[in-house]
């Protein structure tokens, strides 16, 4: 098992001896600053993307979050008594809040903000299709008549785009953990899988949200 012959990460995760909170704050600022441009209707990307051509600050912030999350989630798996226990903790961390948020947006926020008559909104197939967001696997961004006049129209909770990638990372990590292979091989495999997942993540995500928006 990969779990054999390992060193614990407990000491490294002590908030008094690392700067994880500072890195999270910095990453969050990157995302907020970068998203101000498309969300306010600016026709250009943030200055970092324009002058470096590498990625947006938001993309860099998301990458920081993924790296930190990978480290912390691996520690959670290391401390779990079983894969089932780990999966249960991940599920309880994501799905209850996601379910509440999805129902709130579909049946409270939506009816208040929609430009459609309430009966039309409630009978619209996209309203109930939005509930599939609870799965965290296939994300729908649009609710009928909601935010239709925004600079980035028809997008409700665009930040949910990362959930399918997170689930894929959890599955990949679990698979590598249970396979009877040396840790070095497992780490190499994890890097390859993570690299593939990150490579498949569209650059400048907010620019292409409309391609996934139902109208």
The answer to whether 94 touches 19, Cβ cutoff 8 Å, is no
Distance CA 180, CA 161 (A): 33
Say how many C-beta atoms besides its own lie within 10 A of residue 56's C-beta: 27
Q: Angle at CA 136, nearest 5°, toward 86 and 162?
A: 95
Q: What is the mean pLDDT of each run of 10 residues along the chain (215 residues)?
A: 48 64 91 89 87 87 87 88 93 95 96 95 95 92 93 89 89 84 75 70 48 38
**What is the pTM for the complete model shown?**
0.76
pLDDT attached to residue 85: 94
> Per residue in 43-97, pLDDT tens?
888 898 888 888 889 889 988 988 888 888 888 888 999 999 999 999 999 999 9
Distance CA 89, CA 132 (A): 21
- Left (φ > 0), alpha (ψ -120 to 50) or beta: where does 154 sit? left
Distance CA 192, CA 188 (A): 6
DSSP class of residue 151 equals S
């Amino acid at each position: 098992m990969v779990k054999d012959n390992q060193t614990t990460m407990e000491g490294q995760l002590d908030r008094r001896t690392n700067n994880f909170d500072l890195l999270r704050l910095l990453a969050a600022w990157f995302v907020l600053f970068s998203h101000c441009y498309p969300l306010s209707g600016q026709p250009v990307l943030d200055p970092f993307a324009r002058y470096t051509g590498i990625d947006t600050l938001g993309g860099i912030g998301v990458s920081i979050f993924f790296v930190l999350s990978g480290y912390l989630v691996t520690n959670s798996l290391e401390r779990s008594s079983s894969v089932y226990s780990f999966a249960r903790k991940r599920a309880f961390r994501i799905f209850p809040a996601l379910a509440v948020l999805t129902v709130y947006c579909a049946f409270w926020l939506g009816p208040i903000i929609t430009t459609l008559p309430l009966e039309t909104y409630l009978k619209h197939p996209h309203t109930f299709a939005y509930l599939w967001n609870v799965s965290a696997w296939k994300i729908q961004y649009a609710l009928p008549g909601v935010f239709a006049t925004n600079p980035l129209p028809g997008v409700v909770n665009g930040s949910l785009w990362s959930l399918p990638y997170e689930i894929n990372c959890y599955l990949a990590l679990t698979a590598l953990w249970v396979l009877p292979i040396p840790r070095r091989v497992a780490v190499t495999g994890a890097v390859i899988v993570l690299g593939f997942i990150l490579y498949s993540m569209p650059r400048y995500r907010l620019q292409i949200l409309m391609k996934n928006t139902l109208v």
